[in-house]
Each structure stands twice: as C-alpha cells, then as structure tokens.
Amino acid sequence: MLLEQPRTALRSTQIPRPDPGPGEVLVDVLACGVCRTDLHIVDGELREPKLPLVCGHQIVGRVVEHGEGAARFEVGDVVGIGWLGRTCGTCPFCLAGRENLCDAPTFTGYHRDGGFAEAAVADERYCLAVPAEYSPERAAPLLCAGLIGYRCLRMAADPPLVGLYGFGAAAHIVCQVARYEGRRVFAFTRAADAEAQSFALELGAEWAGDALAPPPEPLDAAIIFAPAGELVPHALSAVVKGGTVVLGGIHMTDIPSMPYELLWGERVLRTVANLTRADGEAFMALAPRAGVRTSIETFGLAEANEALAGLRGGRIRGSAVLVPRGSADHP
C-alpha cells in the first residue's frame, strides 16, 4: 500500500520486491501494526516523508534472505522491525548512548519503506527478536505502542500512581506493565467514551474518567498519549509537586498558554523521542514476563485505509494490525 501524496488515500499497487543491501535482511511481512504516527504521516502532520512511501513501522517478519555481511539472524527467524531504522553512530548523541536523539536518523515507514507490504528490508542491527509467546499479529503492537509506552513509563520517575491520558494502543499495553510492577493506574479519556473507560478498567486501571476533569486524587506522574495539547495543563494540574508529565507522541496540537503556577513546585514536563535498541531489548524481555496481552483488530493489507480511518475515528479497541496473507489469530 503506497502513499503518493499526504492527505490522500493509500493506493494498492505492485512494486518491485526489495533487495537487501549490505548488513540488511529481507523479510516476508507476517503482520504490521498501524500506529498513530502512520496516521500523522498520511494526514500530512509529519512533513518530510520520502514519497512515494510504504508506511508501517511495527513489522513482524520472517527472514528469507541476507544482504552481504548480514549474519545476526538465520533464514526462517521471526524478527521485529520498528521505527528506528538506522542511526549515524557518530553524532554526539549516538556516542553518548542516546541514539534515540541521533542527528541523522533513518526511520522505518518514513525515510525508508515499511511494512504495509508483503516484503520489507531492514538493517539487521536494528531488528529485534520477537518473543515466542506472541503470534505475529499480537507481537506487532509491541514494536512501537509497547516500546514508546515502556520508555514513557521509565521517564515518569518511578510513579506509585500514574495517569494515562488517552487509552489506545500504547496505553493499553503500558497499563498492564504498570500493574505488573505494582503501580496504581488512572485512565483519562473523552468524557463520553464509556467503552474506552471500561476497557481500561478491564486491564487493571483503578479508575477511569474524563480527561478534562480532576482525578479523584493527585497523580505522581501522568503520561499523555493523545495528540491533544489542551491536555497538558490538565495533566500538570493533576500531578503532585515534584510530579512528572510525559508527552509520548511524535506530534501534538499546540499547547495552550497556561499559568506558571501549574509548573511551579518542581513539576517536570518532558517529551519522549523515538527509542533505543536497549529499550527494545528490555521491553521484549519484559512483556512476556508481565503477561502483556495485546488487544488487536486485524485487517487485510488492502484494508489499510479502513484501518487508518478506524484509528482516526477512535474506533479501534487496542491496536489495528495489517496481515498481508490472512490471519488465524483474532481479537
């Protein structure tokens, strides 16, 4: 499925099967999650994609061919391919172990073709082993929704009580991780979204309610997954002095003007940008131990526009996943 211009539908077309370059692997795509970042790209909110573009960066695939020098995985291995496609390795951030802030990164499904296709190539150094406990469909959301949620939780300064603003793909995974770690969770959604609130309570949230209203008690930290800048003042007003508000999205509407007193008291407002390979390895080891179960809605490859529309309209319970060759796994 090809994006030729932003703000247009993806088009089903035949393109040449990619060849793996040096250090790369070619995979047959088994499943690819549909992420809100894909939606931001299609809707023109992230403005520098390569075009034409195959979107998709939550790829689970089976290795079928090696490029020159690639030897990390065997043919037949199932691997995960995420947003971080490659880093320069030489900028100050890479040299300091902060490759998520690389000055010259390459992102999957943005700078290079991704997984809304039957085959994809990836730099093997940035691929992840997929836990055997997960089918390809259920593993796919771990590769961005899970990873970004995990990094957000780690950036939230070990909170006993954490609030999750927006209860979609990332929040439904990190809620399970937080509960496994013994944390309390409050979930914040649109006031009228009873289904999302019920979903949060099913997954272990202690309370679920209106994102624009105060919580029943102050939070130690908040993570905002919804791309709505208006939520920032509400989250800051909900956390205790010294609390942290983490912004987990790659794109957000403008944050409105707000009084300084919302930040005063050593409250921290921070963003999470991308992720590191170490994040990926740590989370992929943790997810099966924590019993993380992804809630998915599967779509055929030709239904990519339908999946994006469902995500845009808030109609996906958990994660949307494209399956190029049909699926035996269902929600």
Which residues are CB-contacts of 40 (< 8 A; sequence separation ≥ 6)? Answer: 46, 227, 250, 251
- Name the CATH superfamily housing domain 147-271: NAD(P)-binding Rossmann-like Domain (3.40.50.720)
Measured CA to CA, the distance from residue 69 to residue 214 in angstroms comes to 56
pLDDT surpassing 70 at residue 110: yes
pLDDT surpassing 70 at residue 50: yes
Whether the CA torsion 325, 51, 36, 161 is positive or negative: it is positive
pLDDT surpassing 70 at residue 327: no
Q: Are the beta carbons of 220 and 243 closer than 8 angstroms?
A: yes
- % pLDDT > 90, the chain: 98
For range 181-205, the mean pLDDT: 97
Q: What is the pLDDT of residue 326?
A: 59
pLDDT surpassing 90 at residue 52: yes
Measured CA to CA, the distance from residue 251 to residue 226 in angstroms comes to 9
Chain segment 61-93, per-residue pLDDT in tens? 999 999 999 999 999 999 999 999 999 999 999
Q: What is the pLDDT of residue 186?
A: 98
Q: What is the pLDDT of residue 328?
A: 44
Q: What is the pLDDT of residue 132?
A: 96
The structure tokens 């790209």 sit at 41
Measured CA to CA, the distance from residue 131 to residue 101 in angstroms comes to 27
Q: What is the pLDDT of residue 85?
A: 98
pLDDT band at residue 331 using 50, 70 and 90 as cut-offs = very low
pLDDT surpassing 80 at residue 296: yes
Summary mean pLDDT of the chain: 96
pLDDT surpassing 80 at residue 191: yes
pLDDT surpassing 50 at residue 9: yes
**Class (C level, CATH) for 2-141+293-323:** alpha beta
pLDDT surpassing 60 at residue 264: yes
pLDDT band at residue 60 using 50, 70 and 90 as cut-offs = very high
pLDDT surpassing 50 at residue 261: yes
Tell me, what DSSP letter sits at residue 11? B
pLDDT surpassing 60 at residue 138: yes
Measured CA to CA, the distance from residue 304 to residue 297 in angstroms comes to 12
Domain boundaries, the chain: 2-141+293-323, 147-271
Closest CA to 41 of 49, 33, 51: 49
Measured CA to CA, the distance from residue 236 to residue 246 in angstroms comes to 10
Q: What is the pLDDT of residue 325?
A: 77
Measured CA to CA, the distance from residue 223 to residue 162 in angstroms comes to 7
Terminal-residue alpha carbon distance, the chain? 24
Chain segment 200-228, per-residue pLDDT in tens? 999 999 999 999 999 999 999 999 999 99
